[in-house]
Amino acid sequence: MQFINLHTHKFTNDANVLEIVNQYPQEFDDKIPFYSIGIHPWYINESRVEADLQIIEEKLQLQNCLALGECGLDKRIEISMEIQTQVFEKQLRLAIKYKKPVILHCVSAYQEIIEIKKRLKVDVPMIIHGFSKNLPISKSLLDNGFYLSFGKYLLLNPELEAIFKSVPNDKFFLETDTIEETLEEVYELAAKYKNIKVSELQELVTNNFETVFQIKK
């Protein structure tokens, strides 16, 4: 059974891994088999937002484009929350229109993202990538229908063990994002925390993948 990498910036072309490679509108590589595409809040360029959105809309209609993202909100950057929110909501409307899941970047703005999901009545799956926060935040997100993806911080922060264990088996994904460690290392630790075999973990993640992305593996 393959490993599934929910979010990575590095295309490995590994036959044992189905990876959703993060792409940006202005740096698109059509040789990548499966990808997500979006405007990351760090890289919002107001002069080309509409052009970026046009590219995103074109790609969302393609079969190999599995998700919108990563996109979202980040309170630790200089770009105003007003601008970030405008760009984020425009992207979410495209995800709704083309029925694509959303891979989310969120820093210190979880309540805002929950509010936007409710207000826009987002009916496609939304996945917080690189989750690293506490039990109350994870519970709030799960209660509001979000999925959580774990990677770098699962390896770096032992305190995440309890949070990861508390996430229902049908609500999580695993990823590498930008880390040097392998996806197999992430799966091995996650399997240890869930007290199951890696092969059983692969099956869980595959089931979640098929549910969220409507693709039979």
Which residues belong to the annotated binding site for a divalent metal cation?
A: 70, 105, 129, 177
CA-wise closest residue to 98 among 77, 68, 74: 68
Asked if residue 70 has a cis previous peptide bond (ω within 30° of 0), the answer is yes
* Structural tokens at position 26: 């202005």
- The single residue listed with the structure tokens 């937002």 is 49
Query: Cβ distance 78 to 85 under 8 Å?
Result: no
Cα→Cα distances 100→1, 9, 59, 62, 112, Å = 25, 19, 11, 11, 21
Total H helices, total E strands in the chain: 8, 8
Alpha-carbon distance 32 to 13, whole Å? 8
Binding-site members are 70, 105, 129, 177
